[in-house]
């Protein structure tokens, strides 16, 4: 079988797989949100989050407007490649263009403390 025939067969098989799995719940879609990340002020240390947990600047946690509490996400800076995995335990940010608000520890891992806000991609990991 020639390379062209293998390519056509492989392409058709992939297209059929996508067609048959597109509507099923077990065919998970990988959703990536792009926007700006910010981080919490120190004044929120110990305050209750929307999930009821006390806020901890040293935990790898974050606020997101809609993702369920307990969701893990990977936050990536496309400009540097730095990334951090955080757990959603709060709501926010409520500023246009911002997609996630991070604990200070998570912000440090992204190298964003001096800038305050950075462009990010947020991908659900579980």
Residues 66 and 118 in one domain: yes
Residues 16 and 71 in one domain: no
How far is it, in rounded angstroms, from Cα 117 to Cα 77?
11
- Which residues have C-beta within 8 Å of that of residue 78, sequence separation ≥ 6? 119, 120, 121
Residues 16 and 68 in one domain: no
The predicted structure's pLDDT at residue 30:
52
The predicted structure's pLDDT at residue 98:
95
Residues 117 and 56 in one domain: yes
The predicted structure's pLDDT at residue 19:
38
How far is it, in rounded angstroms, from Cα 91 to Cα 55?
12
Residues 113 and 83 in one domain: yes
Residues 24 and 35 in one domain: no
The predicted structure's pLDDT at residue 103:
98
Q: What is the DSSP string of 71-105?
A: -EEEEE-TTT--EEEEEEEE----STTEEEEE-HH
| pLDDT digits (tens), the chain, 126 positions | 454 333 334 333 333 333 333 443 333 445 899 999 999 999 999 999 999 999 999 999 999 999 999 999 999 999 999 999 999 999 999 999 999 999 999 999 999 999 999 999 999 997
């Amino acid at each position: 079988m020639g390379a062209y025939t293998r390519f056509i067969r492989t392409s058709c098989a992939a297209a059929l797989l996508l067609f048959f799995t597109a509507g099923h719940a077990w065919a998970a879609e990988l959703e990536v949100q792009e926007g700006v990340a910010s981080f919490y002020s120190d004044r929120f240390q110990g305050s209750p989050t929307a999930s009821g947990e006390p806020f901890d600047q040293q935990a790898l946690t974050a606020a997101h407007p809609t993702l369920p509490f307990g969701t893990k996400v990977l936050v990536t800076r496309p400009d540097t490649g730095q990334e951090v995995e955080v757990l959603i335990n709060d709501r926010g940010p409520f500023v246009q263009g911002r997609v996630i608000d991070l604990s200070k520890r998570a912000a440090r891992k992204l190298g964003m403390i001096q800038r305050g806000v950075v462009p990010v991609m947020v991908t659900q990991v579980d």
